[in-house]
Structure 1
Amino acid sequence: MNNNVPENERAIWILKNEGEKTLKELSQALGVTTEGARFQLLKLSNDGYVKSESRAKGRGRPQQFWSLTKKGHSKFPDSHSELTLRLINKIKENLGEETLTELISSTGQDTLQNYLNSIPDTATLEEKIEKLAELRKQEGYMATYEQDENGNFLLIENHCPICAAATLCQGFCSTELNTFQSVLGPNTKVERVDHILAGARRCAYLISKK
């Protein structure tokens, strides 16, 4: 957990990084009693940052699942979103869609070169993914990765700092996917399995060897 997070916002940070949780799960993650967790959640709910949904999970009584609201997600800022949207619209109006596509592609090439300079070609696949996650985390994507029992990897981005721009122009997302594929090499398959713009709480990429 990020130790710089204010005490009263730790639940927001956990829900952003780990997704919805029950009261018991959240109390364990916070290291407090269920009553302490309930107090935090009710306050955050009153402030509009979290919401709960009653849902059956197996046998027994329905459970309350807590997750972030749109206002809760907005606690993690979209980098310079207003200025970015204005610039994108101006480029479209004055220079056309094709020029915008070329600019996004050029920016993607710069990002790719930066990643290639930072990630040795001789590194193992996991070492490459670990470094890529570190670089994305530095850029504000709250990135991490994990490996499943089949040896495949999941690169997870719990936040998108350019979400407003990507919503307006999804060329950013396709460029991002192509960049990951180029960084990890031709013997690797990269597939987006979760997408914030499609309504998921995060973006996630399944990475496997061909």
Structure 2
Amino acid sequence: MGKETNTRQIILTLLKRNQEQTVSALATELGVTEMAVRRHLQGLEKDGFIESRIERQAMGRPTYKYSLTAKGDERFPRNYGDLSLSILKDLEQMSGNEMVDRLFEKRRDRLQEKYETEVKGSLSERVKALARIQNENGYMVDYKQLEDGSYEFIEYNCPISQVAKEYPVACNCEQQLFNKLLETANVERKSCIAKENTNCCVYRLKEQS
């Protein structure tokens, strides 16, 4: 299984470097049979990592050429965190810290407007909807109801932690967003990945008193 996974990754790397490749070219690069390459390509295409197109020849059979899809390209490292941080630092130098705060507040308001129609019902239903939204955005959420009726809301990943370590306003705006979406002022942050040596952000969510 490990060898097969490694071969698939090598194929993706070759397509990343060369943009388009034929079965024959990939087989030569890998030192395997064309049949073996086709098997890997079928799996990668089924998973949505690559796509193929037919290139017709003046003579003979048409040739299939394979290339990465956007999903396949995303498997390669990105440095979005560093880029975002650099942009924020440049903005801070040009316009001051207040402008950075306003940027995060604008993001908070935009996310509220985007999701407020999805988060409704009882507190239980709202917490469930919020967990789904955060999971879709990569936060790896778990939550449970406590004996007093409140909820412990845990995020095991923070996609913006690199930025939040430099700009705590990002965490404050997330807490405010939760308050607004859950329609309660009782959102208490117990721990934070960006601020502490911990593996998760933990919130305590209570019904509005």
Displacement of 1:117 = 2.3
Any gaps of 5 or more consecutive residues in structure 1?
1-5, 7-76
Q: Secondary structure at the match of 2:153?
A: strand
Aligned to 2:86: 86
Closer/same/farther in 2, CA of residues 198 and 82 from structure 1, 3 Å limit:
same
SS in 1 for 2:186: strand
- 1:152-198 deviations in whole A, cap 9, x for unaligned? 11111000000010011010000000110111114x51101121122
Q: 1:26 is matched with which residue? A: none
* Higher RCO by CA contacts (8 Å cutoff, separation 6 or greater): 1
Higher-Rg structure is 2
Between stretches 168-177 and 192-201, larger displacement belongs to 192-201
What corresponds to 1:113 in structure 2?
Answer: 113
Q: Deviations over 1:35-70 (max 9, x none)?
A: xxxxxxxxxxxxxxxxxxxxxxxxxxxxxxxxxxxx
Q: 3-state DSSP class of the match of 2:206? A: strand
1:85-164 equivalences under 5 Å are 85-120=85-120, 123-164=121-162
Q: Is this contact kept in 2: 1:78–1:162, CA < 8 A?
A: no
Which amino acid is 2:179 matched to? Q
- Retained in 2: the 8 A contact 1:154–1:206? yes
CA contact (8 A) 2:119 2:182 kept: no
Q: Deviations over 1:118-149 (max 9, x none)?
A: 223xx010100000010001111111211112
Which residue identity does 1:179 align to in structure 2? L
- TM-score of the pair, normalised by structure 2: 0.59
Aligned to 2:181: 183
Q: How many angstroms apart in 1 are the aligned matches of 2:78 and 2:186?
A: 29
1:96 aligned partner, one-letter code? G
Residue 150 (structure 1) shift: 2.0
Q: Secondary structure at the match of 1:118?
A: coil
Give structure 1 regions of 4+ aligned residues with deviation exceeding 4 angstroms: none
Aligned mates of 2:94, 2:79 — CA distance in 1: 24
Deviation at residue 78 of structure 1 after TM alignment: 9.2
CA distance in 2, matches of 1:79, 1:204: 26
Three-state SS of the structure 1 residue aligned to 2:159 is coil
Structure 1 residues 119, 79: CA separation in 2 closer, same or farther (over 3 Å shift)?
farther
The alignment covers a number of residue pairs equal to 132
> What is the rounded CA distance, in whole Å, between the counterparts of 1:175 and 1:136 in structure 2?
14
AA partner of residue 106 (structure 1)? K
Percent identity reads: 26
Residue in structure 2 matched with residue 167 of structure 1 by the alignment: 165
* Equivalent-residue separation in structure 1 for 2:112 and 2:202 (angstroms): 19
Matched residue, 1:28? none
